[in-house]
Amino acid sequence: MPPARMLVIVNPAARHGETAALVPVIEQLLEMMVDHDTVITESPGHAIELAASAQAYSVVVAAGGDGTAHEVLNGLMRIPQDRRPALGLLPTGSGNDTRRTLGISKSLSDAALELAADRRERFDVGVCNGIYFNNSFAAGLDAKVTAKAVEYKVTKERDGLWLYLTALFYVLMKDLDSFDVRVSFDEEAPSSCEALLIACTQGPTYGGGFFITPDADPHDGLFDVCLIDPLSLPQAIVRLPFVVAGKHTSMKVVHMSRHSRVVIECDEPLPAQIDGEVLLERRYELSSLPAAIECVVPERA
């Protein structure tokens, strides 16, 4: 088999614009190892267009954070599966939860070596209201936190778990409201409940390393679902360290389950986030697409 020809899509705005300075480093790491072309995105959504027109390549690499990987995935999913390139990742962003889900190294140089090795593995893809996602969807509290994190990412120049925790504490203090929703799993009839948040994930973390679904498996064709009941501020603060570490799953206020299809409805617009992108709808319909994308990943330990 001939070596993979790669298209590297670089988001220069990732990690407060630091990725722009890494372009020469990326080129130097890759130029002796892989046949590739590099394109720099110019605006939000540009990576979707670039990936959607990349049928001539064997691998399309997202160089950036979760938002870049999210756009590249949505572009690739426009290509028929029999002609769809594999997804690669050079993690230079702030959160990098997709990196954790795929098992790719945190080090940029190690991630480049993993790309050159070109080991492939198929992963599930989630789809919500026609939008594809690599890692996570969450409605309720988490979407409020994500929106605040977008603000803090610029105004306070924070990233990773620290960014998410800063935004979370703000929301806990100012806006700890729950939502009345109707939720149906798989083919079951909808049931009404009051929820603080509902997360449906493929990987174990979101928010830059927050282990919301610690046992999630991105190869099983199922979402790991975490539904948390309404909490008072003292209750939320006491439980927070356990949620960060993924030790919350047996709490009475936490309901864990696995499903291939989830529908969430609300009489008022319900904030949500999908791979860190904020949404506001009254109905969210999610499905898991088993083994829908091939990814370049390292050897498993």
Q: Which CATH architecture has domain 5-118?
A: 3-Layer(aba) Sandwich (3.40)
**Both structure tokens of 268:** 């008022």
| Each residue's pLDDT expressed in tens, for the chain with a length of 301 residues | 445 799 999 999 998 788 999 999 999 999 989 999 999 999 999 999 999 999 999 999 999 999 999 999 999 999 999 999 999 999 998 888 999 999 999 999 999 999 999 999 999 999 999 999 999 999 999 889 888 887 887 787 777 778 888 888 999 999 899 999 999 999 899 999 999 999 999 999 998 888 999 999 999 999 999 999 999 999 999 998 999 899 999 999 999 999 999 999 999 999 999 998 999 999 999 999 999 999 999 987 4
75-80, long-range: CB < 8 A, 24+ apart: 75/47, 75/48, 75/49, 75/50, 75/51, 76/51, 76/52, 76/293, 77/125, 77/132, 77/292, 77/293, 78/51, 78/52, 79/52, 79/54, 79/55
| pLDDT tens profile 137-156 | 999 998 898 888 878 877 87
Task: Identify the CATH class of 136-290.
Answer: mainly beta
Residue 29 makes CB contacts below 8 A (sequence gap 6+) with 108, 109, 112
Closest of 283, 267, 290, 258 to residue 186, by C-alpha: 258
Closest of 262, 282, 250, 48 to residue 181, by C-alpha: 282
Where exactly does CATH 2.60.200.40 map onto the chain?
Answer: 136-290
Q: Which residue has the tokens 């999610």?
A: 286
What is the pLDDT at residue 151?
84
Where exactly does CATH 3.40.50.10330 map onto the chain?
Answer: 5-118
232 residue type, one letter: S
What is the pLDDT at residue 152?
84
pTM listed for this prediction: 0.93
Closest of 136, 84, 131 to residue 285, by C-alpha: 131
| pLDDT tens profile 82-116 | 999 999 999 998 888 999 999 999 999 999 999 99
What is the pLDDT at residue 97?
93
Q: Which residue has the tokens 């935004």?
A: 167
